Structure 1
Amino acid sequence: MDKAGRLQDLPVGSSEHPMRTAVPEFPEARLRELADRYAAAIAAKRRRVWLGAAVLIAVAIAAGWMGEVSLGNFVENFWRFPAYFVSIAPKFSFATAWSDLADWLWGLPRWARLLGDTLLIAYMGTLSGALCGFALCFLASANLVKSGTTVFVTRRVLEFFRTVPEIVFALIFVLAFGLGPLPGVLAIAIHTAGALGKQFAEVVENIDSKPVEGVAASGGSWVQVVRFGALPQVLSNFVSYALLRFEINVRGAAVMGFVGAGGIGQDLIEAVRKFYFTDVSAILLLIVLTVMLIDFLTERLRHRLLGLEGSTR
């Protein structure tokens, strides 16, 4: 019988079959050792997860105890939260629907103007803060700046900008410049500079170093290294982060009015204090619809910038 026929007649498990020698066999002890190591790794991971959960729960309990948070008070008065939204809902009847709607939205022209002021405050604050964060982010990037002192100081400045809440900055600027939109713009600009500066710096530190090294090796200055080596790689991400921040700042600008920093928030807090419930619901509805529209538009634009136009929610 020829060789091919002989191979066909031999069973695969036969010691003479070549397929038997082609597949390596692990000793039983080696397989048992690998299984034990895998089981030990899984057990160690589970212990870390449980330990982390226990620490998180313990910290939450300690924070609640130190903050004098009363769980009983929360459970007892939780019903007030949905009850408030029920109380501010407008009352409509079928017979007088149009007149009820007109009464509910009686201040629409004024609220629309104040809402426009809020959008302008958010826009100017975002633009100013983004430009400031853009100027500082390269100085906070360790892969572009050799001076550790410069990087350290710039990062601390950005931390200060984003650590202080916007409303605290707004209170300070209201005392300095008086009531109006200027304190709101400055407060949002400073906080935005800190937040975007950090995000921009993290993007810069993750760029491909080859273009940067190429520009530097050809004798380019530091500004030229940033302009031609780093900026083309990060510009679309910068714009995407700025658009996302604008969406956040629209909500922040509405709160600025609570301390007299302009915008629709001033009328909202006044309606809350005077128990004008229907005015509260109307203003909240305008804010929610505006934020939803801006969220949709900025999301589409960000996806287009990042090449993700097809990945809609």
Structure 2
Amino acid sequence: MITNPKITIHSKKTANSKNPFLILLTREGVGVSLILILMFLFLAVSAPNFLTVGNLSNLLVQSLFVMLVAFGTMFVLSTGGIDLSVGSVLGLAGGVTGWLMMNGLNMWIAILAGLFVGALIGAINGLIITKLGVSAFLVTFAMLYIARGVLYLLTKDEPIRNFVTPEFAFLAQGKVLGIPMPVLITLVIFLLLYFIFKSTSYGRLIIAAGSNTEAARLSGVSTDRIKISVYALSGLLAAVAGILLTSRLTSVQPSMGSEYELEAIAAAVIGGTSLFGGKASVVGVAIGALILGLVSNGLDLLSVNQFYRLIITGLIIITAVAIERYLAAKS
């Protein structure tokens, strides 16, 4: 049974209290926001057509799919876990939705089925990790292949097409008051997750479980339930991203969602989420996803080989982790 333990935090003077610059950087989203602004200014000056409405709108929408997956990854990382299956879950959820619609099922029922598949796979991951004591890396790595294999069987290694209705296409291609629907959907999810993470006991218990699992358990926290729930949430958010991506592409490719797990981890880490658990930022993750989008968009506009994106992303991750560990040590 989950209870809300009273956790006493004793304040004390630290090295940060004498360094205003470090205090500023450790505030939620500030440091990564500076990186985003500098990259934006660089591309505004150096990349042709970067500041056009069409390009900025496309950049924002493209970043949202990684952002949604990264939100779920953030919750998992906060507990000290990892989820490598989200890219395959994204593809499978979109594939299930498209396949059911192609076979005549009502759009909303198909969408609910896709969301259920995502949450179910996440919950299975969490159950195996907590109840059988298997490494999160191994479980989710195996699930990456299982979900991808199921998608290949579902699609018979051929794209699923000719199922999109105008109502379904509206989810990712429509606009309300000039604002793209994916932006509105992601904004609602962002606000909900921010509230959950910052203003509820559930959010505090996630951080407690990630900071010190044994101490949280001894305080009466059901750490197993917390971990199962965050894996289920991760799968659900990956499914949301998969359904929206399916709506945007109007088809399902057998490889859809590949590498999303790495980009989601990258966005979370760049945004200040600790790989060691106990620290995360919903705002930071959103900015981290936008930074990855800027990298990809900038390389396109500057006619640079996209293979450099992998190198640049890796360097950004290493830098972000190094800075996070440095600031943690100073704190």
Return the TM-score normalized by structure 1: 0.29
The structure whose Rg is larger is 1
Considering fraction of residues, name the structure with more helix: 1
- Indicate the structure whose relative CO is greater, using CA pairs within 8 Å and at least 6 residues apart: 2
Return the TM-score normalized by structure 2: 0.28
